[in-house]
Chain A
Amino acid sequence: MAINSNGDRGQNWEAQLRKGCLEMAILASLWKSRLYGLEILRALSENSQLEVAEGTLYPILSRLKVEGLLQSEWVEAEAGHPRKYYWLTAPGRRRAREMAGTWHEFAAKLAVLVEPVVGGKSQ
C-alpha cells in the first residue's frame, strides 16, 4: 500500500516536472529552424524524454501563437498537401533564451545537490 502511494507520488512528481518543461522544450525545438507539428513532436521525442502526445502539443502551439511567441504559415509541401510551419518571433526567442538560462542555472545547482544521492545509488 505504502509502496503504491509512493509510486503514484513519484509519477505525479515526474508528470509535473515534464509539464513544467514542455513550453521551454517546444520553444527550444524551434530555435534553429521552422518546423511543422509532426517535426516538433519528433524533435521532442528524439532529444528529450518529454514524449508529448499530439493532443497536448497542438493546443499549446496555438496558445504560444496567441501569446505572440510563435508565428506560423501554411506551406505547400512536396507531400502534396500543405503543412503549417511554426517559427519563433523576436519575443519568442527572448522567452526561449530566458527560460533556457534559468533552466541551465537551476539544473547545474541541483546537479551538485543530488550528486551524492545519485553516487550513493550506484555504489
Chain B
Amino acid sequence: MTTSAIITDKRVEGYISRLDRALASLDPAEKTEILREIRAHIVDSTEHAADRDGTVDRVLRLLGTPEELAERYGTECLFTRASRSFSPWLLLRTSWRWAKLGIKGTMTFLLALFGYTTALALTVTVFMKPFMPSRVGMWIGPRGLNIGVPSHPELMHELLGRWFVPVIAVAAFLFAIGTTQALHWMFRKRAPNAVSPISRTATYGRAAS
C-alpha cells in the first residue's frame, strides 16, 4: 500500500469516527446501521477510481461534514418519530430543534413549553394536596384565580374542596394529552424535507471556486 493510499484510508476512518461521535444521540443499532451504510457508500464510490485520492475528497464533500450529515439524519427522522411519540421529553427536544429553524418552530416550542409546564405544575399541586390540605387549592380572590399555595389565603376563597385532587388531576392529564396531540398535528403538518438538500452542482461549484 502506498503512502497516499494510507493517508486516504486514514481520512475515511477519520470521517467515520467523527460521524460515530456526531450520531451519539441515536440508538446504537441505528447508529451502526448508518455507519455501515456510509462506509459501504464510500468504498463503492471510490474503489475503482483512477484517482482514488481525488475521488475520496469529492465523495466526502458530497456527504457533507460528519456533523452536517448527523444533523440531517437527526432532523429527517426526528420529526417522523416525534409525530408518533408520547414522550414529552422527545417532543420538547424536537420542537426546540425546529425552533432553531424558524418562526413556526418557535411557536411550536413555546406551545410545548407552556402545555407541559402547566401540566407539570398542576400535577405537583395534586401531590402536594395531601400534605398541605388546607393551603393547597383552587383559590379565588381579589387578584383572580390561583391554583396552588397562595401567599394570603385569608383574603381568598377555595372553590374545589375535596374535589381538588380529581378535578386538577384530570385537568393536568387533559393539558398533557392536548399538548401532545397539538404537537403531533404540527409535526405532521410540517413539510417532510424542511432541511434544504445539498445540491451536487452547488457543491461542485463551491469546490471549483
Contacts and interface: CB of A to CB of B under 8 A. Distances in A.
Interface of A: 15, 18-20, 22-23, 36-38, 45, 51-56, 58-60, 62-63, 66-67, 74, 79, 81-84
B203 A53 contact: yes
B99 to A, nearest CB: 20
Interface stretch (B76-84, B137-145, B146-154, B161-169): B76-84
A63 B77 contact: yes
Contact of B80 (A45, A58, A66, A81): A66
A21 B69 CA distance: 21
Given A15-B196, A37-B37, A38-B44, A53 B64 contact: yes
Contact of A81 (B40, B73, B197): B40
B40 A82 contact: yes
Nearest to A83: B40
A38 B68 contact: no
A89 B45 CA distance: 27
B47 A58 contact: no
Interface string B108-138: 0000000000000000000000000000000
A23 B193 contact: yes
B43 interface: yes
Interface in B81-122: 81
| Residue among A53, A55, A81, A82 having the largest count of chain B Cβ atoms under 10 Å | A55
A54 B76 contact: no
Contacts of A18: 197, 199
Nearest to A39: B44
Chain B binding surface, main DSSP class:
helix
A51 B199 contact: yes
B34 interface: yes
Nearest to B47: A79
B198 A56 contact: yes
A83 B81 CA distance: 26
B81 A66 contact: yes
Contacts of A54: 41, 45, 59, 62-63
Contacts of A60: 76, 193
B111 to A, nearest CB: 24
B196 A62 contact: no
Contact of B197 (A19, A63, A74, A82): A19
B102 to A, nearest CB: 15
A83 B73 CA distance: 19
Given A74-B36, A83-B44, A84-B33, 9 more contacts: A36-B44, A37-B37, A38-B44, A54-B45, A55-B198, A58-B73, A62-B77, A66-B80, A79-B43
17 contacts: A20-B193, A23-B193, A37-B37, A38-B45, A52-B199, A52-B200, A54-B45, A55-B72, A58-B34, A58-B38, A59-B77, A60-B76, A66-B80, A79-B43, A81-B40, A83-B40, A84-B33
